[in-house]
Structure 1
Amino acid sequence: MVKTSVQAQVVEQNTIAGDVMQLAMVVPDIARIACPGQFVHIRVADTLEPLLRRPFSIADCNADRGILTIIYRIVGRGTALMAKLKPGDTIDCMGPLGNGFALTGQRPLLVGGGMGLAPLVMLARAFCSRTATVLMGGRNEQELFWPDIYAKICKNIHITTDDGSIGHRGFTVDLLPQLLEQGKFDIIYACGPYAMLKGVAQIAASHDIPCQVSLEEYMACGVGACLSCTCAGTSGKRHKVCTDGPVFWAGEVAW
């Protein structure tokens, strides 16, 4: 897998909702080869602390302009430092890393929960010439800012919230069987919390529909050397999420 480490220039950073930020950077060498589902590993500061890079899913990419976009939540010191970056600042960015989604579907269903919806934005855009349906879930209306982002890309959007403040009350896996019965989907792509992915994988298997999942794990090196992000596989071996994934066929993962 071709990857590079470069100094990326920040061109835009803004708050989407609460503690969720959107950062766009000029990084032509990465943007021209990035695929939906891949990620970048960013060194957020030129100091020894925090020492390790942070992995971020590629939310969107404009290869012609060389601009790559990430959407992230401020959860610790690293992301807090990154949230202070302004247009014109530079950050060390390595990527694209990992294996992306297989763009084989003609009638895809994208299922995302919480921040797991970030890597599905670029995937939805890749399917813009086909009929893509998105099923998204969040805790409440305040946290579910995603419809505004996805509405610019696709028309078929279904929403669930834990408290029912917007859309269907419940979880994405509660509504999924109903959608599968109504639609003729030929593949499911999913990203979100582990419990959600497990449920989606089980439902997809029961409907005999191929399913790919993007796993979210803490990563130290991002290149398969440290073994900090492994997951159990059905073959009996452990997969490195950073290099074998982060996208897997659901049947490869030992849930």
Structure 2
Amino acid sequence: MLCELVGKRKLAEKIYDFTVQCPEMAKNARTGQFLHILCGGEAYLRRPISICDVVDKRYIRFVFEVKGVGTDALAKYELGSRLDILGPLGNGFELHPEDKNAVLLIGGGIGVFPLLFLAKQMKGRATVLLGFRNKQSVIMADEFATVSRNVFLATDDGSFGYHGFVTDVLKNILSSNPVSRIYTCGPAPMMKLVCQIAGENALPVQASLEERMGCGIGACVTCTCTVGGQRKRVCKDGPVFDGAEVEWNG
């Protein structure tokens, strides 16, 4: 669909926050799904970008980092432009309102973006753990604080929040708090460790994977990964998988 760009902000260096008007997509969007966006310029293939939020069942918000020619072209669109978007795509996070104990949302870097919509769906029940390189890269912490019970921040260099990795914060919380389940999105090494810690504590964990995509609908088999001993397509079978079944590289 052609969706009008009605909101545009630059949150940090190379980080852009877009809101598009697309009622049909917004009504069907689930947490953890993504949009496949035709960026224009020299980018021939669409780019997959996670849904950050849905507003008033009419607007979809997505936040992205400029990494190459595709996202660079996307960042140059101005308000009123129409973006060619396919979506919402993929299988998102599964919600479990029956959970009695804390539910942890763990994000790292640009992986924090899709967790905001999930936190809102939790209606205040989620505890959010966010990890960044340094104070300058901390994004959206205030927004998470408005929709989550507790928000913990960690930076690699200690310039803001806890000095260390977000997985260290996770271990501290698990040592003294009952937890029902974990959701995570971020760099693969971080998620691998989160899933390992979850396994050691017999906790279910859902992980949102990121892979290079071609078609975005499962036809080209470009974005495969191994889950439960089988090859899966991140775009069609995921991007959210049972973290205990993901075979992490490295």
Fold shared per TM-score above 0.5: yes
Counterparts in 2 of 1:1-255, with a 5 A limit?
6-45=1-40, 49-64=42-57, 66-104=58-96, 106=99, 107-128=102-123, 130-234=124-228, 236-255=229-248
Give the structure 2 partner of residue 3 of structure 1: none
Which amino acid is 1:123 matched to?
L
Shift of 1:182: 2.2
Shift of 1:197: 0.6
Which amino acid is 2:197 matched to?
I
- Partners of 1:145 and 1:54 in 2: CA distance: 22
Shift of 1:149: 2.3
- Partners of 2:138 and 2:176 in 1: CA distance: 24
| CA root-mean-square deviation | 1.2
- Partners of 1:182 and 1:31 in 2: CA distance: 39
Q: List structure 1 runs of 4+ shifted beyond 2 angstroms.
A: none
Asked if the contact 1:32/1:63 (under 8 Å) is kept, the reply is no
User: Where in structure 2 are there 5+ consecutive unaligned residues?
Assistant: none
| Cα deviation 1:105-146 (Å, max 9, x = unaligned) | 533100000000011010000011x42100000000000122
TM-score normalised by structure 2 residue count: 0.95
Shift of 1:252: 2.2
| Cα deviation 1:16-48 (Å, max 9, x = unaligned) | 111100000001110001000000000112x6x
* SS class of match (1:224): coil
Which amino acid is 2:7 matched to?
E
Residue identity (%): 42
Q: What is the number of residues matched between the two proteins? A: 245
Shift of 1:152: 2.3
Which amino acid is 1:62 matched to?
V
